[in-house]
Structure 1
Amino acid sequence: LLYFFPPGAAGTPGSRGPASSSASGGPRTRPARRASHTRSGYARAGRRAWFELFRQRKGVHEKQMANAEAKEAGAHEPKGRTKYKYITLSEAYESFPGAEVNFYGIVAEWTVPRPTRKGTDMYQVLKLRDASVSGITSTEDGGQYSDIQVQFFATSREELPKPRKKGDIIRLHRVKVGRWEGKPQLNAKIGTIMQGGMAGGFSRCQFCMFDSRVADGVENTSFEPYQRSSASFTFDSVNDKERIQGLRQYLASIGGENALVDDTFSIPITRITMLKNYDLHVKVLDVVREKGKVTLVVWDGSDARPFVPGMNLNDAPGDGNTCHYWMPCGQDFPVEEGTFAGEEKPPGLGTAFPVLLRQFDIDAEDLPEKGQWIRLRQLSSWVKNGQLQGLFVQSSKWAPAEPNQAWLTASRERDERRQVSLWANEQVGAMNGNNGQSQGLGAFEMPGQVPFGLTRTMHENQPLCSIREILMAPAPNRHRCLVRIIQHSPKDVHDLCAESVEPPAAKRKKVAKEKSAEEDKKWTKWEWNLRLLIEDATGKMTVNVAPEDGREFFPHIEPCDLWDKDSVFVKLEKTMRALTVKDDRAPGEGWVQMCVMSYVGEDGRRHHRLFGTRVL
């Protein structure tokens, strides 16, 4: 009672009440005795005051305990001027340059942190979405935005946001609005300031990351951030909860994380041009480190545009880069049965597209892992020795991604149709009867090509295979393929025929040297002597042409001394020019059918030989 009613308080137990005195300052007189009902009234009033004060003290105590728990967790209720005004993403995007804005957003994508051009900071981009973003109209094509980008800068990777998954929610305070190339740009500087007059201090911008849900199909009722940029953070138990819950409901209404997959800026590899930068949504087949250089080998099921062998476009001469044709196995080494089986089997169709990392410190980069699906942003390209290659430069970025179901579906359909080339014209590779295979227009909407084809095979009823599928198959084996002949060896057409001395064993006699020479001359004949370097979207391979297969391949040309017979040479040269890819050849021209057998020779190496193919 003394705690709640200290002595001397008027109207409480222990107080004497006001002292009475005469106006003249005379002696104090005892006040008149109050009625009993008055004393009872004072008692009742005292009890009411006691209970009211107890209730107030109890409320204060409970609030102190709640604040202590919240303080231990790092959160506290905003007070006075620390209350934040949150706006939508579209309002933030359209704010005046120089303004500092606060907002919530759903994370649609995030890039892996990279060093800035000067190397003083780490740089990251988050794509955010809410219900208001669709109201932003592009000034270039008039289309609607699907998300907006926020540029993050920090002195280390650890200070940048680390979303757990797409759909998670981020809260940002004091994001700076700027302009870049005439467009709004939202910049968030996080963590310690290392340079300038504020060096050693901390950036004003802060963030908190919240889960979108606990698990699939389970609603998340938690409002605790799993990552925050500061030791403490404000959290309004009413307004902040409403905003987080509203974004969770919005995400569920548009289809959840699946609605964040589509990206209209990503193109298939088959549509890469040299005119502008591009984005890819691909699977990483391999990360190749060789001679201090790193190459990402990526795949999306489509075919890169073929170029003339030896062509160079936009390349840097003398940079040490060459062609990079990735294969899961070598051409000369036998493959055992079951080597490529199961879910990790490399895809049989589609280009293994090389993306070269250049113009920056590779050691400072976080690289994707083999088998991971990623998005590659702002790539450029060049043509090196006839191969189209992607370039990951300083302005490029990559982000973890989910598998592209549209690409996978198109790849499965293509595999079922055995559409081994997206660039070959429609008539090349067509089968007789009702089982025709069109090699031109398909799932990736390639433009039509001019019909062209110079060879036929004896096995038109067999399905077509890619070079990668041929090399992954164990020997002995036979395949029918659709390829371009890019080179023949010997290079001089005069040397495609060679002398062969094959006297029968019964005719061989140990005679004098002069007679032996005459005997050899009697049994000398000319045979085909050549090898063909063939190419498709999956790689290159060398095919040997045996003498008997050469006679079948060139049915209208008899092997002879081409240095001596000019008419035969002219005819053969014209044929080889038509068969091989030249400077004036369009991408859809120069494709030929070919049957190839693989076998293991006495030397233990695998060999590939032409058979059952003829030139029209």
Structure 2
Amino acid sequence: MAHMENLPSVGSPGDIIQLSRVVMKTHNDGVYALFNKKFSSFALYEGKNGEDFLPYQCSLFRPRDHDSKFIAGMRKWLVDFHVDEGVNTFSFLREMREGQHANLVCKILHVCEIAKNEWMALVWDGTDSPPISINTNPEHKMDEQLPLQLEPSPPLSRDLLRTFPTVGTILRVIIDKVNQKHVLHLLNTGEWVKFISILCEVHAGLWCGVLTPFTKLRYLSNEDHFVLACQRSYNERLSLKLGRIPYWCFPWCSQITEVDYDHMPFATLMDVLTYSEATARFKCIIRVVAAFPWRAEDFSHHGTYRIRLTLEDPTARIHAFIYAEDGEKFFDGNPSIDVMTRKRDKLLGVAANNDGKGTNPASRNPPWVQCCLKSYYLDKNDIWGSRQYRIFGTKLAD
């Protein structure tokens, strides 16, 4: 069996491979070149931008006088070559379906190592991924609640987040050890790529893409019609007054919350995370996907509300607290346990029986709701590291 390091490793999409002494075969209407490691050979050359005729990788290769003529001809042909893949073969992130393979056109925002022999690429196309039903036990302990991101702690730095777009989902793409050698060096930050047959999965209620042995990658130029369409759609969205609200809450969000600051423009949670000042106020449309504590009788401690909610929109997840007088505003005073339980279930998307009581809290579909957020810090010596968020000026309707 050939070692991985002896196999062709293409440096860049569009590079040229020369095969010698291979046997041509047909199978299921396809044509294949059968490579025998005992006598077949290959050579890899730079593509259309190459200037010499020396291969950067080869095996058992013996150059011939007329090879340079063929390579020069291929480079000339590549200048105007385009793969005809049709206009309907690629999907937006908003069209992903769990467990299905998709062809996506995305911009690579960042690539990082998240564990030994496991990497992650963060990609984006300007659209909002579909909301996911939450299927976890809501009564888990605090450290067992839904994670804020798929990558292990510590989270991505604020400086890095500020380089990302603040509208549209940033999809995490998992790159395991098997795919590292062939894929990792092709994922360059700032480049647009086509992911062909990427598996769409959901982990902890968050979308992620998984590269499989059948996934293919292809670079795109900034002038490609797919890229131009994504950028044009994104720019049009930013120009709209309501362009920062989630795609999935149109024509409008649920009316179960009321906010005091109707005049404030909407912000995404990525806007909140990357805002230039540590203390600020925002109005967002979000889903509440978790609450701690879960039981309504534990919301108040010695008469003071203390609740941690997990909020999400298509751009991010954050924790936000309801505390003291903000809790009294949120719940309209100090209602009975039954009333607070009913309000909690509506907010977190717990389906109700005919008698109005919640059924299975482990399967929830939270509605999109408005809320006001304020950011603050706990330590003046570590303003950004101690930054947190509270819900204020928001009332949960009966």
**Given the two structures, how large is their TM-score scaled by the length of structure 1?**
0.50
Answer whether contact 2:120 2:174 (CA < 8 A) is retained.
yes
- Given that 1:306 and 1:388 are in contact with CA atoms closer than 8 Å, whether structure 2 keeps it comes out as no
Q: What residue in structure 1 maps to residue 143 of structure 2?
A: none
2:238 is paired with a residue whose SS is: helix
Provide Cα deviations, 1:378-436, integer angstroms capped at 9, x if missing partner.
222332222222111223233333342211221222222223312223111xxxxxxxx
| Residue 150 of structure 2 is aligned to residue 369 of structure 1 | no
Quick one: which of 206, 220, 238 aligns to 1:415? 238
Aligned equivalent of 1:128: none
Give yes or no for contact 1:330–1:471 (8 Å, CA) kept in 2.
no
Alignment match of 1:202 (pick from 40, 43, 46) = 40
* Residue 183 (1) aligns with residue 34 (2): no
SS at match of 1:345: coil
Work out whether 1:580 is the aligned partner of 2:361: no
- Superposed CA deviations along residues 93-116 of structure 1, whole A, max 9, x for unmatched, are xxxxxxxxxxxxxxxxxxxxxxxx
Q: State the structure with bigger RCO (CA 8 A, min sep 6), 1 or 2.
A: 2
Deviations 1:9-46 (A, max 9, x none): xxxxxxxxxxxxxxxxxxxxxxxxxxxxxxxxxxxxxx
Q: What pairs up with 1:223-262 in 2 under 5 angstroms?
A: 230-234=62-66, 244=73, 256=80
Larger Rg: 1
Q: Give the match for residue 207 of structure 2.
A: 388
1:196-595 aligned within 5 A? 199=38, 201-203=39-41, 230-234=62-66, 244=73, 256=80, 264-292=88-116, 293-310=118-135, 324-325=149-150, 345-358=163-176, 360=178, 362=180, 366-367=184-185, 368-403=187-222, 404-417=227-240, 418-428=243-253, 452-473=254-275, 474-499=277-302, 526-555=303-332, 558-559=333-334, 568-582=336-350, 590-595=367-372
Deviation at 1:606, TM superposition (A): 1.2
Give the Cα separation in 1 of the matches to 2:150 and 2:340. Answer: 30
- Following superposition, the deviation at residue 289 of structure 1 comes to 1.4
CA contact (8 A) 1:325 1:540 kept: no
Relative to 1, partners in 2 of residues 1:340 and 1:285: Cα closer, same or farther, differing over 3 Å? closer
User: Are the structure 2 counterparts of residues 283 and 261 from structure 1 closer, same or farther at C-alpha, using a change threshold of 3 Å?
Assistant: farther
Q: Compared with structure 1, are the counterparts of its residues 588 and 424 closer, same or farther at alpha carbon in structure 2 (3 Å cutoff)? A: farther
Counterpart CA distance in 1 for 2:339 and 2:285 is 24
- Whether the aligned pair in 1 keeps the contact of 2:101 and 2:197 (CA below 8 Å) is yes
Letter in 2 for 1:459: Y
> What is the alpha-carbon root mean square deviation over aligned residues?
4.2
Deviation at 1:360, TM superposition (A): 2.2
**In structure 1, the residue corresponding to 2:229 is in which secondary structure?**
helix
Structure 2, unmatched stretches of 5+, are 138-146, 352-359
Contact 2:107–2:125 (CA under 8 A) maintained in structure 1 = yes
Percent same amino acid at aligned positions? Answer: 18
**What SS class does the counterpart of residue 97 from structure 2 fall into?**
coil
Q: Deviations over 1:178-223 (max 9, x none)?
A: 445x33133364xxx53xxxx2x334xx789797699xxxxxxx9x
Contact kept in structure 2, 1:267 and 1:279, CA below 8 Å: yes
* Paired residues of 2:179 and 2:213 also in contact (CA < 8 A): no
Which amino acid in structure 2 is aligned with residue 530 of structure 1?
I
Is the contact made by 1:298 and 1:352 (CA closer than 8 Å) also made in structure 2?
yes
C-alpha distance in structure 2 between counterparts of 1:285 and 1:328, whole Å: 19
What is the rounded CA distance, in whole Å, between the counterparts of 2:307 and 2:68 in structure 1?
80
User: Quick one: distance in 1 between partners of 2:45 and 2:87?
Assistant: 23
More strand by share: 2
Unaligned runs of 5+ in 1: 1-117, 123-154, 215-221, 313-321, 429-451, 500-525, 561-567
Deviation at 1:570, TM superposition (A): 1.3
**Residues 462-482 of structure 1, C-alpha deviation per residue, up to 9 Å, x if partnerless?**
221111110101211111111
Q: Contact 1:286/1:298 (CA < 8 Å) preserved in 2?
A: yes
